[in-house]
Structure 1
């Protein structure tokens, strides 16, 4: 009797963790003009409607920033360029940037932050000073995001405390109440969930209810992440990377954000009032890797009433 030739059935496709899938809805990602030039077609990487931040590194010409914004808007993305206060010389320069982004690229969203340089190039030292000009409201910007630092910001509180940071966030929340723009906090990346949860809970206890878009480093080589973490002043959660680096079995493997996002997503599912609204990816290992990780884990870039 002939033997039947049975084939082993293919394993079922991996199902995304429902909590992670829900947590990733509406995620955003960041680019800089230099790396954007290397991407032939963003539409093969990111779903239409994804919010894309454009980081403005000191020395980048505004022409390059506006051209990148126009390209991304043309491809169907919601573009949010950085406005680093300390590299903007004066009110006239700020007004020109706003007008160019709006007129040449159709941008009506901005991330306002102090910026990297310790010494301001001109009249502005903080995101609050940018907001106080009234230029964004006058131009009809619909979304203004401000920076947050779950592990502290020594530029604002050199002693390691957070009194001045909290005071600044209260001011920004008050500004949100009198602005026509929707506001949110976009944070620096971290590598451990517990400090993020504690920080978000602290903000809620202080009455700060601006939605939080939590910064997460996308997949990258461990050495790359450690370098960025040190350069950006990431605090306690740097220990997570250093501990991993001491494990020779993991040293050469790419770091992925699965553990931290799963922990945050699980906490969010169990605590619906937990005030993290979205995930913002820093593609430190390349935008393709971050975009693919989001897709593989059920992420979508749009959702109803996206903010």
Structure 2
């Protein structure tokens, strides 16, 4: 990695963390205050752990982005309660995916109705993120996912791409959404330097049912992490450098999936920045 473009991506990062018991301590110990922290939400545990951790991290001076999955919201009143709580905590940025809860907790089965609900509430957040899918969604055709981004553009301010391990696929996806006039800035979803054993440990801690779904959906991830030479964030960024750093790509930064390996992710980022600087 040897360009100013990659350095800029590493300087503009978001760390995705899971709301576990030790997460707050790990963030406080290892994450600089200028790094955005996003907090996931689990269909098993619901929104409460996410909202609680987001509030505590915000109180400690972090810019926090809680995930508010549509399928975890019961109704309009619940959405308003969540908005009020987050605004009181000083949160001005939320990420609104559809979520994996099956069946949904209430009236919302996708992100767009929630985004419309936020607009009807007066757009209470300065920034609102939505999901992009570089690789095919198992249940949704690619053209439909890109159309969905187009439909959401008037309510959202940025896109976070789902986790992808292939720089060619990432580059082609970015070019494709730009051809379709989706102009929202993109935060690239990239796995940090994850160890397979720790990923398995994390998966087994997120709830029995949810863990089973996680492992079923992402079995190929473990092969990539376990195979010698199978995955390296340095290699992915270096191979995708041209496509990902081109001004026309509109990439705003990296969204790093830490899988709660927070200290390891920050050490890797600092080392990568040091190498670029030299």
SS at match of 1:138: coil
Q: Separation in 1 of the partners of 2:225 and 2:188?
A: 22
Q: Does 1:261 align with 2:261?
A: no
- CA distance 1:96–1:30, shift in 2 (3 Å): same
The alpha carbon displacement at 1:272 in A equals 2.2
2:172 counterpart residue number:
198
Q: Separation in 2 of the partners of 1:123 and 1:294?
A: 40
* Native 8 Å contact 1:148 1:187 kept in 2: yes
2:194 counterpart residue number:
220
Q: Separation in 2 of the partners of 1:145 and 1:124?
A: 17
* Native 8 Å contact 2:40 2:66 kept in 1: yes
How many residue pairs end up in the alignment?
A: 264
- CA distance 1:75–1:244, shift in 2 (3 Å): closer
Q: Separation in 2 of the partners of 1:285 and 1:42?
A: 9
Q: Does 1:78 align with 2:63?
A: yes
The structure with more radius of gyration: 1
1:297 counterpart residue number:
272
SS at match of 1:73: helix
The TM-score, its normalising length taken from structure 2, stands at 0.83
1:55 aligned to which of 37, 40, 59: 40
2:128 aligned to which of 141, 144, 150: 144
Q: Does 1:126 align with 2:104?
A: no
- CA distance 1:273–1:58, shift in 2 (3 Å): same
The alpha carbon displacement at 1:243 in A equals 6.8
* Native 8 Å contact 1:86 1:116 kept in 2: yes
2:210 counterpart residue number:
none
1:248-291 deviation per Cα after TM superposition (whole angstroms, max 9, x unaligned): xx58xxx531101222334344x322222210010126111111
Q: Which moved more, 1:68-77 or 1:135-144?
A: 135-144
- CA distance 1:231–1:210, shift in 2 (3 Å): farther
Q: Which moved more, 1:55-64 or 1:194-203?
A: 55-64
The alpha carbon displacement at 1:118 in A equals 3.5
Q: Separation in 1 of the partners of 2:170 and 2:91?
A: 30
Alignment RMSD (CA, Å): 2.9
Q: Separation in 2 of the partners of 1:53 and 1:230?
A: 19
Q: Separation in 1 of the partners of 2:120 and 2:197?
A: 39
Q: Does 1:28 align with 2:14?
A: yes
* Native 8 Å contact 2:83 2:124 kept in 1: no
1:24-53 deviation per Cα after TM superposition (whole angstroms, max 9, x unaligned): 121101112215x34426343122122111
2:152 aligned to which of 169, 172, 176: 172
Q: Separation in 2 of the partners of 1:141 and 1:294?
A: 29
- CA distance 1:134–1:204, shift in 2 (3 Å): same
- CA distance 1:39–1:132, shift in 2 (3 Å): closer
The alpha carbon displacement at 1:171 in A equals 0.6
Q: Separation in 2 of the partners of 1:87 and 1:60?
A: 10
1:178-210 deviation per Cα after TM superposition (whole angstroms, max 9, x unaligned): xxxx61111111111000000000001111111
2:182 counterpart residue number:
208
1:8 counterpart residue number:
none
The alpha carbon displacement at 1:136 in A equals 7.1
* Native 8 Å contact 2:24 2:53 kept in 1: no
Which residues of structure 2 form unaligned runs of 5+? Answer: 204-212
